[in-house]
Amino acid sequence: MSETPETATRTPADFWFDPICPWAWMTSRWMLEVEKVRPVEVRWHVMSLSVLNENRLDELPQQYVDLMEAGWGPVRVLTAAEQKHGPEVLGPLYTALGTRFHDRGLPNERATIVDALKEAGLPEDLADAAHTDAYDERLRASHEEGIGLVGQEVGTPVIAVPGPDGRQTAFFGPVVTPAPKGEAAARLWDGTLMVASTPGFFELKRTRTEDPKFD
């Protein structure tokens, strides 16, 4: 009798995300599907596009600068939640935030964050962390842990899994829409691991021709 995802020893997949990124949201929903069809356990970590881009704001269009400035709030709230209530709250809170930001198109503002905190069973006053740098040291450390595995030329998400030599194999992406389901999710996971674990492999890419499809 073959092993199933429920009975096999699950392989940890560390997933770094910024909740404002729609592409990371697509990938995260795919990873939840992968958990159902492969013996994988996702461990969530915060990274920040605001941190990633803070030294190049003068190169960016104003619309993106505004997005980066607003982006500090959600990642600070997530980091505060992790510090006060443990890393296990990151997944549910990310789902609550991402559902509102991306699926429902709600604004990145306090009311949206408070509503997400309530859904995740967390104290509403964690929303106060959005406007303080009290958790920025931890936020930056988490960000650097993820981005340090793949380099500064990429963004979110970053996924890391144990490699064949015991060290982590990490990659950016995959960038995909809509999020694959069932066996399609499994095939993409298997293929991603195959190329990511190939010595000397760095990149596969093509121009995006579609916007994220939320369903």
Where is pLDDT greater, at 163 or 18?
18
Q: What is the pLDDT of residues 53-70, one digit of tens each?
A: 998 888 989 999 999 999
Instruction: Please report whether residue 202 resides in a domain.
Output: no
Q: What is the pLDDT of residues 98-147, one digit of tens each?
A: 999 999 999 999 999 999 999 999 999 999 999 999 999 999 999 999 99
Q: What is the pLDDT of residue 1?
A: 37
Between 136-147 and 62-85, two packed helices, what is the crossing angle to 10 degrees? 110
- Domain range for 131: 11-196
Instruction: Please report whether residue 211 resides in a domain.
Output: no
Instruction: Please report whether residue 209 resides in a domain.
Output: no
Question: pTM of the full predicted structure?
Answer: 0.90
Q: What is the pLDDT of residue 31?
A: 98
Q: What is the pLDDT of residue 79?
A: 98
Instruction: Please report whether residue 81 resides in a domain.
Output: yes
Residue 200, pLDDT > 90, answer no
Count of structural domains, the chain: 1
Instruction: Please report whether residue 213 resides in a domain.
Output: no
Instruction: Please report whether residue 212 resides in a domain.
Output: no
Instruction: Please report whether residue 210 resides in a domain.
Output: no
Where is pLDDT greater, at 2 or 12?
12
φ and ψ at residue 205, rounded to 5 degrees: -160, 150
Write the secondary structure of the chain as one string of H (helix), E (strand) and C (coil): CCCCCCCCCCEEEEEEECCCCHHHHHHHHHHHHHHHHCCEEEEEEECCHHHHCCCCHHHCCHHHHHHHHHHHHHHHHHHHHHHHHCHHHHHHHHHHHHHHHHHCCCCCCHHHHHHHHHHCCCCHHHHHHHHCCCCHHHHHHHHHHHHCCCCCCCCCCEEEEECCCCCEEEEECCCCCCCCCHHHHHHHHHHHHHHHCCCCCCCCCCCCCCCCCCC
Mean pLDDT across 180-187: 96
What CATH number is associated with residue 59?
Answer: 3.40.30.10
Q: What is the pLDDT of residue 212?
A: 80
Q: What is the pLDDT of residue 154?
A: 86
Instruction: Please report whether residue 4 resides in a domain.
Output: no
On whether the CB atoms of residues 46 and 90 are closer than 8 A, the answer is yes
